Structures are given as structure tokens and as C-alpha cells.
Amino acid sequence: MTTGNKLRLGVLGSGKGSNFVAIGDACAASDSPLEVVLVLSDIADAGISARARERGIPAQFIAPGNYRTKLDEAAEAAFVAALQNARVDLVVLAGFMRILKGEFLRAFPQRVINIHPSLLPAFPGLESWKQALDHGVKFTGCTVHFVDQGVDSGPIIAQKVVPILDHDTPDILHARIQEAEHELYPATLAMLARKRIVVNGRRTFFTNRI
């Protein structure tokens, strides 16, 4: 399935898959340096799996086990094996509602990427758009970051600002943040594929390479 030297992406998701759709649409461009080779979900009927199959991309459900917020040991091993068998270069989280730790992150060191709906380190965790409204801040946004052992605490790669307007409700603000995510995530992945971003410790830097 690989064309040329494209970066092979394995996407993990639990929901409708709107960020996956944005990434998939970007991959369809003739000059894209990206290719989604596998979609995995912890939800049997997740919308992201249907969106993948519509695009001819293999999609697989793997039962997560008995934990509510993380994968059990057997499930973690199954996710890792599926991604390794697909020879993914980068693991991309797109609404995946399980915390990844331990063996999973050791299997893909500094190769797991997530997008979070706030300007980290502000408002980590769940429903961050509601947190932003409750705190009365005037700007929020979204952050692409590497995944580490913490919760939304990995090195920041890129961010996009979204202003908070006077009429905003949680749903309206969340929708605008999602629009920003759909722009930022594919663009950031493309820059990683083109080696426009380098990492030094917890800091990331943009290079001049094209």
C-alpha cells in the first residue's frame, strides 16, 4: 500500500473519526507525504472504523479488556502487534479514549502523537473546552503533542489558537476547536513526515527543510 517514501500512519480512535477524516483527506492529495495503513478501535461499532473502510483502509476492532480508562495487558499486546505487523512509522491518536502507558509507549518511543482540545499545558484531561469557559479565559485552542506516561503532558509539537467569543456555549466552542484540529493535525503530521520538526528533550523546533 505504501507509495514512495510516505510516512506510514497507524490511527487509533474510539469515536466518529472526524480527525481521522481530516487526515485521510490530506493523505489523498497527490503530494501528501502521509499514508494511513491501519485504523484500530477499542469500540466494535466506532464510526472511525466505518470511515476507514469507506477509504479502503484496513480497520480492526480489538477488545480493550476490563479496565475503563486503559487497555489491559492482553489488549495492549494485541494493539502493539497489529501496529508492528502493519509496519507503522507513527501512531496517531484520533479521539482514542484510553490512556496508553508502559509497554505500548516503549514499543513506539517518541512515535505516538495526540491532539488535545486546549492550549496545553492549560486544561489537560476531559472536556477541556468546558474548563476554558469555566475559567473565563479569552483564548483556547488545540495542541498536537507527543504522548508520554502522563496525561496530556508530552512534548508540545504545534498549537492553534481559537478565540472564545461572548456567545459561546460549550458545544459551539467545541465545534470551533474541532475545526482548528482538522487543520492543525494533518499539517503537523506532514511537517513531521518532511522532517520539518525536530525534538530536543521536551522542546520541539521547526527546521527550514522542505
Sheet of 59-61: strand order equals 59-61, 34-41, 7-13, 90-93, 112-116, 139-146, 156-163
pLDDT(2) > 50: no
User: Which three three-digit cell numbers place residue 165?
Assistant: 467569543
When pLDDT is cut at 50, 70 and 90, the band that residue 197 belongs to is: confident
Cβ-contact 26, 34 below 8 angstroms: yes
Cβ atoms 89, 7 nearer than 8 A: yes
pLDDT, tens digit, for every residue of 154-184?
999 999 999 999 999 999 999 999 999 999 9
Catalytic residues: 116
The domain 114-210 having CATH identifier 3.40.50.1370: the answer here is no
Q: Is the pLDDT of residue 1 over 50?
A: no
pTM over the 0.85 mark: yes
To the question of domain 1-109 being in CATH 3.40.50.170, the answer is yes
* Whether the predicted pLDDT of 17 surpasses 60: yes
d(CA 26, CA 178): 16
Structure confidence at residue 183 (pLDDT): 97
What is the rounded average pLDDT of the residues 119-131?
A: 96
Total H helices, total E strands in the chain: 6, 9
Q: What is the mean pLDDT of the chain?
A: 93
Give the residue extent of every domain in the chain. Answer: 1-109, 114-210
Is 209 a residue whose pLDDT tops 60?
Answer: no
Quick check: do 1-109 and 114-210 share a fold? Answer: yes
Closest CA to 199 of 137, 154, 138: 154
